[in-house]
Structure formats: structure tokens, C-alpha cells
Amino acid sequence: MSGTRLNKYIASSGLCSRRKADELIESGVVNVNGKIIKELGYIVQEKDKVFVNQKLVRPARHEYYKFYKPAGYITTSDDEKGRKTIYDLLPESMYSLKPVGRLDKDSTGLLILTNDGELINELTHPSVKVPKIYIVTIESRIHPHQLQEMASGIEIEEGKMAYADVMVLEADNRHTMMQITLYQGLNRQIRKMFEHFGYEVKSLKRIQHATISIEGLRRGEFKPIKPQQIKELRNFLNRISKK
């Protein structure tokens, strides 16, 4: 039968991921042509009208951008405290795009922005170990046993273990610059890992997320991600999800 599975149709609107769409379907807030549908495998045909919470949803044309976040901006579309957000740097046409993960106010570097809810879920779901690469500097020389401890795991909060692969790029008695790869998405993970040793992070920049890199961008700049790069990203996610 031609058509699209209902959960994929909802996800393709940018409203949410397929997993969340399944939850919405099961909760009874989805109707097709005026009829409540709770069947997860329901097939939507081209002329069908799908409503979620009484609002019409349609498949969106997916957009994919990479953005070089500067320091001093938070990764959200709205802030109760009135702080500057990344959307202050973006055109209104991009306000509907969501960031894949976050960078805290003082951190810089790569953010992927998209309205593809399914891709956001694949890149951020804890069951898939998606690599994110950072360049981090501290004002101290780090010790080899601390690097090993970061690889083995550090408890940064009660019951939360954080892991990182670290490669030293430059070091002297006053500073250490490192390339750090994370496979988790814990809040302020890198900063908390160094706080464990009594170090303060002086600079933190994300340079790569999965197969997408910051290459070719200046601070505050954004560029569309090419279709071939999205294809390569999806192939990469498919490979690592099977491990």
C-alpha cells in the first residue's frame, strides 16, 4: 500500500520525533479526517488530513544548517531572564529551526539547526553513541592519570558517570589544550569533569557533531548543510545504531 506511516508523517512535519509521535497516537490526540487513530502502523494517504491536538499538521520541507555559536548567547528560542539567544543572530526565516543539543552560554562552536524532528532524535537519543568533538583549554598542566580517569569515567553527579576520550594537543606548565570526544549528552559535562579535578575551563569549542564539522564557518555565521552531507550523516547514524 502506498502512503506514509502515521508516526513518520507527524515527525516529518517537524513537530516531534517518531518516538514522540507514537506516544501522541497512543494517547488519542491524533485524528485523521476527523477520526481518532490509535493504530501505530496506520498509513496516511496523500489526500488525508492529519490533526494533532486539533491542529492540522503537514510534512515540512526539511532544512539543515550549521551555525558557529559565539560566546555570550544561550541555546534557546526564548529566555525568561532576557539573555541573548542564538536566534538574535539568525534571520526570522530560521526561527522555526531547532538546535540539535545545546552549548552553554560561555561555549562556542558548532550547532546543527533543523526542523527534522526525526534526525534530532537520532542525533541526541542516549541509546546511540554519537560522537561530538571539542577543543578545550585549561590554565594548568593536566596529569596523565587524570586523562585515564576521564576515559574510565567520573561521577559528576550522584549516579551520573561521565566519560571522555582526550587527546592533548598542546601543553606547558601554564595551560593544556585538548581535543575531547564525547559520546554522551550530559549537561555541562566537560566543565563538570574538569571541576572534579579542580580545573576551570577557559575555552570550549565544539568543532564536530557526528559527520558535520565547523569547517568553513566564522563565528556567528551559518550555512546550509549540503544534501550529500545529510546523506552521509544518515548513513553514519545507521551504521553506529547497529553496533
Helix (H, G, I), strand (E, B) or coil at 71: coil
**CB of 17 closer than 8 Å to CB of 121:** yes
**Cα distance between residue 222 and residue 238, in whole Å:** 26
Nearest 5°: phi and psi at 142? -90, 150
One of 22, 48, 104, 106 is an active-site residue; which one?
Answer: 104
22 catalytically annotated: no
According to DSSP, the residues that pair with 155 across neighbouring strands are 161
CB atoms within 10 A of CB 171: 14
Backbone angles phi, psi at 144, to 5 degrees: -55, -35
Contact call for residues 109 and 134 (beta carbons, < 8 A): yes
Catalogue the active-site residues.
104
